[in-house]
Amino acid sequence: MLNGILPLYKPRGMTSFDCVAKIRRLYQTRKVGHSGTLDPNVDGVLPICIGNATKAVQFLVASGKEYQGSITLGFATTTEDLDGEEIARQAVTEPFTNDEIDAALARMTGAITQIPPMFSAVKVNGRRLYDYARNGETVERPERHVTISSFKQRQAATYDPSTQTQTIYFTVACSKGTYVRTLAVDVGKVLGVPAVMSDLTRLKSGGFTLDETVTFEEIAAHVEAGTAGALLAPIDKALGQYPRVTLTDEQWQRVKNGAFITAAEGHQTDPDANTMVALVYQNSLKCLYSYRPDEQRYKPFKMFAVN
């Protein structure tokens, strides 16, 4: 059975679940999971975990994301992007200067609070928000605390005098759980006009960049040639932030049965250091162990392989 992370290029027009279903068929396995939903109208990096790598999904999801896209000022929609129905329009009679736009983006940088859009997969009382929205119902939405580490223009904004709208072109680096659609709307609020996210591509996720991704056409060709496994990155790729500890034969015999290891075996010398270590045996990452300072030893946190 194949194990690893497939850096998929998700095309527009497919849901993330559609992508998982197609990968299951191509790789002929049910053990497939993705690391963070992309809306159907968004393309870009979507890491797909296969086999034992599905145990690493939570670590890929937790990683920061980078996007590039555009925000159009002058109207708003129900979905905060171009897929929804228009609900507000206000002519931009005088285009905003690049300095004004830069200042608005800067105000959205750092630790911020977001309210998820009604057309989103967030669950409230066991139902997804988009279910409420499709039924014309409203419900109180939970706040989300996210971090925007960078939010900048990537080229000068453009103005369309015929529609009296203005388009901002941006790149953003953000924490997990960030709704870029909502960022777009909030930029409009700062500038005093309705706004929508008019384009979005994910540039980076789970440590993978856009130029590392593979398309469905490339995957199909590798499957046909019997080389589909060559497209998979090792689980290590999702766990690069954790210090490596190489196990001896004797230690691995204990670890694969879930035994604790001592602070010294985990190279723990600083109580304030990273409390998680990745244990490696014969150049293969086998598991994550978490340090228990009260016991001065490491215990299993996540096992990826026992052979």
Cα torsion for 74, 78, 81, 82, to the nearest 10°? -80
Q: Are residues 155 and 185 both part of a single domain? A: yes
Residues 78 and 182 in one domain: yes
Q: How far apart are CA 166 and CA 191, in angstroms?
A: 12
Percent of the chain at pLDDT above 70? 98
Residues 133 and 188 grouped into a single domain: yes
Dihedral of the CA atoms 128, 7, 20, 82 (nearest 10)?
50
Let me know if 39 is a catalytic residue: yes
**127-131, 157-161, 236-240: range with lowest mean pLDDT:** 127-131
Both 59 and 33 in a single domain?
yes
Distance CA 158, CA 31 (A): 46
**CATH classification of the domain holding 294:** 2.30.130.10
- Domain match, 37 and 108 both: no
pLDDT confidence band for 36 (50 / 70 / 90): confident
* 258-294 pLDDT per residue, tens: 999 988 888 876 655 658 899 999 988 899 999 988 8
Q: Into how many domains does the chain fold?
A: 3
Q: Are residues 108 and 230 in the same domain?
A: no
Domain co-membership, 229 together with 247: no
How, if at all, do strands 276-281 and 244-246 pair? parallel
pLDDT digits (tens, 9 = 90+) for 78-131: 999 999 999 999 999 999 999 999 999 999 999 999 887 777 777 878 888 778
User: Residues 132, 185: one domain?
Assistant: yes
Token pair, residue 35, equals 């690391």
In this structure, are 95 and 115 located in the same domain? yes
In the structure, what pLDDT confidence band is assigned to residue 34 with cuts at 50, 70 and 90? confident
Range of the domain at 31: 4-63+206-237
- Which class for 302: exposed (0-12), middle (13-18), buried (19 or more C-beta within 10 A)? middle
Answer yes or no: pTM beyond 0.85: yes
CATH assignment of the domain containing 14 = 3.30.2350.10
Q: 155 and 177 share a domain? A: yes
Q: Are residues 117 and 88 in the same domain?
A: yes
Residues 73, 188, single domain; the answer is yes
DSSP string across 58-121:
HHHHHS-EEEEEEEEESEEETTSBTTS-EEEE----SPPPHHHHHHHHHHT-EEEEE---SSS-
CA atoms of 148 and 110, how far apart (whole Å): 5
